[in-house]
Amino acid sequence: MVSSILPLLLLAVPLAAAVAVAVAPSGPTSSKFVEIVHVASISAVGVLALLVVGRTMAGDDVTALGNWLYVDPLAAIFVSLIGIVGFLTGLYALGYVRHEVAHGELTPAKHKIFYGFFNLFVFTMLLAVTSNNIVMMWVAVEATTLGSAFLVGLYGKRSSLEAAWKYVIICTVGVAFGLYGTILTFSNGAEVLAAPGGAIYWTTLAANAKLLDPTLVKIAFVFVLIGFGTKAGLFPMHAWLPDAHSEAPSPVSALLSGVLLKCALFVIIRYHVITMQAVGPEFSQSLLLTLGFLSVAVSAFLVYVQHDLKRKLAYHSVEHLGLIVLGLGIGGPLGIGAALLHAINHSFCKALLFCGSGNVLIKYGTRDLKSVKGLLRVAPVSGLLMMAGALALAGFPPFNIFVSEFLIFSAGVQEGHWGLMIVTALLFTITVAALIHIVSGSVLGKAPDTMVKGDVGPSMLVPMAGLLVLVLVMGVAVPQPVSRLIQQATAVVIGGDRTVPLAAPWQHPAPVAEIVAPARAEPRS
């Protein structure tokens, strides 16, 4: 572990940007200033995130503020997601929000509110994934809800306020369960550790997990799974998700689905590690397996019957988060690695599609798939990007979702879950049908005659193209550094000696990286 100023800078930049935007005077001249601050902030966050990740991959877990902030390879995955997807959706937001303000959908005052809360939201997510202090981790997850509530309700319409209310109530109540789980874990640690103060740090708890009271660990994990599972959008706590994702402005939907859900997932993985160390893998794995499978099963049908584009995509998020959790539940080096890879892949792909749904909204003024026809003729580039995104999400090669889905299914088969994998695969064919429906009906098809042809501006298309490039790069082959980072992260979850390199089915796997067991604080008893 090395102490570094990087995590502090990473957190300070978006927070400072949020404050700068908040105190900026409102008016047309300041809107330029607000946009400059925003772009500077998301660019700096992107660069700093990659620097922190690079540092971690070089073999040093980075800490700051004593032990309060901690970035190991597991956290690094999520830091990089926030950095990259935050940057691209943040760029996309420039064109999107300008359009909404110009067409009176948003008042100029909302312009400022949007960028202020966007940066605050990025800050809270970064805090959640860099916290080593488990109570601060909880505080940060709760703060992500509070920071994004106004973004969800930004349009101020009846439907968006309703969505914001459900989002805040369901998530704060859900996350209150997370607080209970956190408290139980902390008190458990404080009882048994020689230095009770250490029980607040995840690193100490994970290193001393064998000392913890097994019953309390189990109860705490159930609370944590309900609590942060609500935030991750797992069935049956997912009720807020389709409303919030569909009512939020599209760049925010992209951030919610692409990144926020994964931050909650990250916290679950942290507790999964403690629970596996304390009581063995069966308990938490079977819970994850059940919840993951149920999420996939229920959302597959909900995806199919939806006609609202953004709600359809939102239910897809429930399904894919379910699949990630299923992968974690399958366990083993391949299951964990594939789940982490799927978290990355889904993030890029879903951000692309939610940005695309913004283009659809701008062109058609509706999300109703019955009215959206012929996007490829009306807006060719948007149409192509949407088509690629939909095919990617459906799991066709050479796009990235195929690779990680394939690896999760292989892991399941390897661990002997034949029946479960066959049923899951069948369920996924339902959603493939739903996505083909988007492509055949809305991207292709005959455009309404009244429709004005012409695409949205390049300021919105270029970030989407960037996301598509990521989707393709990750689909053609798992890049070496990504494969290595995931191996290192898997080592954090299940120990260093059992990791396997991840590779697409047609790719020569990278040589097994030399993984050092995670350097945690020495057990103190």
Interface stretch with another protein, choices 137-145, 281-289, 404-412, 443-451 (CB under 8 A): 137-145
The answer to whether 186 contacts another protein (rule: CB under 8 A) is yes
Provide the total of helices (H) and of strands (E) in the chain, helices listed first: 20, 3
Q: Residues 38, 111, 311, 350: which binds another protein (CB under 8 A)?
A: 311
The answer to whether 214 contacts another protein (rule: CB under 8 A) is no
Evaluate whether 136 touches 68 at the Cβ level (below 8 Å).
yes
- Sort 522 into a burial class: Cβ within 10 Å, 0-12 / 13-18 / 19+: exposed
| Side chain identity, residue 1 | M
Beta carbon of residue 297, minimum distance to another protein (angstroms, whole number): 18
**Contacts (CB under 8 A) with another protein, residues 443-482:** none
Interface stretch with another protein, choices 16-24, 130-138, 251-259, 381-389 (CB under 8 A): 130-138
The answer to whether 304 contacts another protein (rule: CB under 8 A) is no
Q: Please name which of 158, 159, 131 lies closest in space to residue 143, comparing C-alpha atoms.
A: 131
Beta carbon of residue 336, minimum distance to another protein (angstroms, whole number): 30
The strand ranges marked E within 16-128 are 62-64, 69-71
How many C-beta atoms surround the C-beta of residue 328 within 10 A?
27
CA dihedral 471, 43, 4, 481 (to 10 degrees): 20
Interface stretch with another protein, choices 39-47, 229-237, 306-314, 355-363 (CB under 8 A): 306-314
The answer to whether 341 contacts another protein (rule: CB under 8 A) is no
Interface stretch with another protein, choices 1-9, 195-203, 338-346, 366-374 (CB under 8 A): 195-203
CA distances from 435 to 300, 308, 442 (A): 11, 13, 10
Beta carbon of residue 240, minimum distance to another protein (angstroms, whole number): 10
The answer to whether 440 contacts another protein (rule: CB under 8 A) is no
Region of residue 221 (left: phi > 0; alpha: psi -120 to 50; beta: else): alpha
The answer to whether 129 contacts another protein (rule: CB under 8 A) is no
Interface stretch with another protein, choices 103-111, 304-312, 483-491, 502-510 (CB under 8 A): 304-312
The answer to whether 15 contacts another protein (rule: CB under 8 A) is no
The answer to whether 199 contacts another protein (rule: CB under 8 A) is yes
Beta carbon of residue 280, minimum distance to another protein (angstroms, whole number): 20
Give 64's strand partners.
Answer: 69
Beta carbon of residue 18, minimum distance to another protein (angstroms, whole number): 14
Q: With respect to another protein, which residue has the nearer C-beta, 239 or 381?
A: 239
- What would the x/- binding string for another protein be over residues 81 to 120, using CB under 8 A? ----------------------------------------
Region of residue 495 (left: phi > 0; alpha: psi -120 to 50; beta: else): left
519 Cβ contact list (under 8 Å, min separation 6): 1, 61
Interface stretch with another protein, choices 185-193, 349-357, 452-460, 509-517 (CB under 8 A): 185-193
Q: Residues 31, 203, 246, 299: which binds another protein (CB under 8 A)?
A: 246
| Side chain identity, residue 28 | P
The answer to whether 213 contacts another protein (rule: CB under 8 A) is yes
Give 69's strand partners.
Answer: 64, 131
Give the integer Cα–Cα distance in Å for 472 and 479.
11
**Contacts (CB under 8 A) with another protein, residues 144-173:** 146, 149-150, 153, 156-159, 161-166, 168-169, 172-173
Beta carbon of residue 136, minimum distance to another protein (angstroms, whole number): 6
Beta carbon of residue 180, minimum distance to another protein (angstroms, whole number): 5
The answer to whether 518 contacts another protein (rule: CB under 8 A) is no
Output phi, psi for 159, to 5 deg: -65, -40
Q: Please name which of 154, 96, 95 lies closest in space to residue 121, comparing C-alpha atoms.
A: 154
* Sign of the CA dihedral running 77, 81, 83, 84: positive
How many residues bind another protein (CB under 8 A)? The answer is 49
The answer to whether 8 contacts another protein (rule: CB under 8 A) is no
Beta carbon of residue 282, minimum distance to another protein (angstroms, whole number): 21
The answer to whether 33 contacts another protein (rule: CB under 8 A) is no
Interface stretch with another protein, choices 90-98, 138-146, 286-294, 387-395 (CB under 8 A): 138-146
Pairing of strands 69-71, 2-3: unpaired
Q: With respect to another protein, which residue has the nearer C-beta, 154 or 269?
A: 154
Evaluate whether 53 touches 130 at the Cβ level (below 8 Å).
no
Instruction: Label residues 69-105 b or e (16+ Cβ within 10 Å = b).
Output: bbbbbbbbbbbbbbbbbbbbbbbbbbbbbbbbbeeeb
Beta carbon of residue 412, minimum distance to another protein (angstroms, whole number): 31
Q: Please name which of 47, 44, 50 lies closest in space to residue 20, comparing C-alpha atoms.
A: 44
Interface positions with another protein (CB under 8 A) = 135-136, 138-139, 142-143, 146, 149-150, 153, 156-159, 161-166, 168-169, 172-173, 176, 179-180, 183-184, 186-187, 190-191, 196-197, 199-200, 213, 215-216, 242-243, 246-247, 302, 305-306, 308, 311
